[in-house]
Homo-oligomer: A and B are copies of this chain.
Amino acid sequence: MATKVSKLKPQAPEIAARTGVQPTRGFKKKARTRQLLIESALRIYARKGMVDLALNELAEEAGVSSGTIYNYFRSREDVLEAVGLSLAIELSQQVSNLTLDVTRGAQRLSIGVRTFVKQAVRDPQWARAVIQVIHYANGFKTALTENVRADLQLGVEQGDFQYADENVALAFVVSATAGAMTTIVDGYTADGHDGLVAEMVLRGLGMPGQKARCIARAPYPRGLPVQK
């Protein structure tokens, strides 16, 4: 499947590459089409935002017939939901991988913030997609921000953070990070952007300036850094 010629339009190279790779591995099931659709949707988000995701365009991007989408999703809303959730899970895991052996909440948070900012610098298109999802997909926040909440609580216990309201602090972290990503998408990037943002966030959460700067500018960990 996904190989049926499709009178739609010649495939963009990255699609050929992608679909060419996947059939190689002997995945058992054919329902990988769903994943293909989600990935295609993210590419469109990157270009035009979720608001303008047209299902026939998605079908074209995925090299699939328009009706096929409805074998995997009940409605357009359902597609947006699923894409948001999928992205949230993927990003959660990426950040988790980088903070497996970090036990200090402030450090964990810093790494999380920096990961997103670094990735935005590296791939602004990806950042556009993520920002879209943050603003629109309901399931996204709840799925992704639980990690942030845990790090905040850890930071409080460890005496690094002081804030009056956890939800307000949570929104602060998320929106400041997303705001930095937006700046980058809009074409502006500062030197050490990721560290600058992390420092501001840590300070905002109540950490003294010196400590905040120290943590925010610590070497970024290895791991599977940020490979989309």
Which chain A residues have a beta carbon within 8 Å of chain B's beta carbons?
51, 135, 162-165, 167-169, 171-172, 174-176, 178-180, 182-183, 188, 190-193, 196-197, 200-201, 203-206, 208-209
The answer to whether A190 and B204 touch across the interface, beta carbons within 8 angstroms, is no
Copies of this chain held together in the complex: 4
Contact of A176 among B163, B179, B196, B208 (CB under 8 A): B179
The answer to whether A197 and B182 touch across the interface, beta carbons within 8 angstroms, is no
Can you name 26 A-B residue pairings with CB atoms under 8 Å? Answer: A162-B209, A163-B200, A164-B190, A164-B191, A164-B196, A165-B190, A165-B191, A165-B196, A168-B183, A168-B190, A168-B196, A168-B197, A168-B200, A171-B179, A171-B183, A172-B179, A174-B179, A175-B175, A175-B178, A175-B180, A175-B182, A176-B179, A176-B204, A179-B179, A200-B205, A203-B203
Contact partners of A176 in chain B: CB under 8 A: 172, 175-176, 179, 204
Contact partners of A205 in chain B: CB under 8 A: 200
- How far in angstroms is the closest Cβ of chain B from A68? 15
Contact partners of A203 in chain B: CB under 8 A: 203-204, 206
- How far in angstroms is the closest Cβ of chain B from A58? 18
- In the A-B complex, the 10 residue pairs with the smallest Cβ-Cβ separation, listed nearest first, are A175-B179, A204-B204, A200-B204, A165-B190, A171-B183, A171-B179, A175-B175, A203-B203, A203-B204, A51-B51
Contact of A169 among B178, B191, B200, B209 (CB under 8 A): B200
Contact partners of A167 in chain B: CB under 8 A: 183, 188, 190
The answer to whether A180 and B188 touch across the interface, beta carbons within 8 angstroms, is no
Cα distance, A183 to B175, chains bound together (Å): 10
Cα distance, A193 to B163, chains bound together (Å): 12
Contact partners of A201 in chain B: CB under 8 A: 204
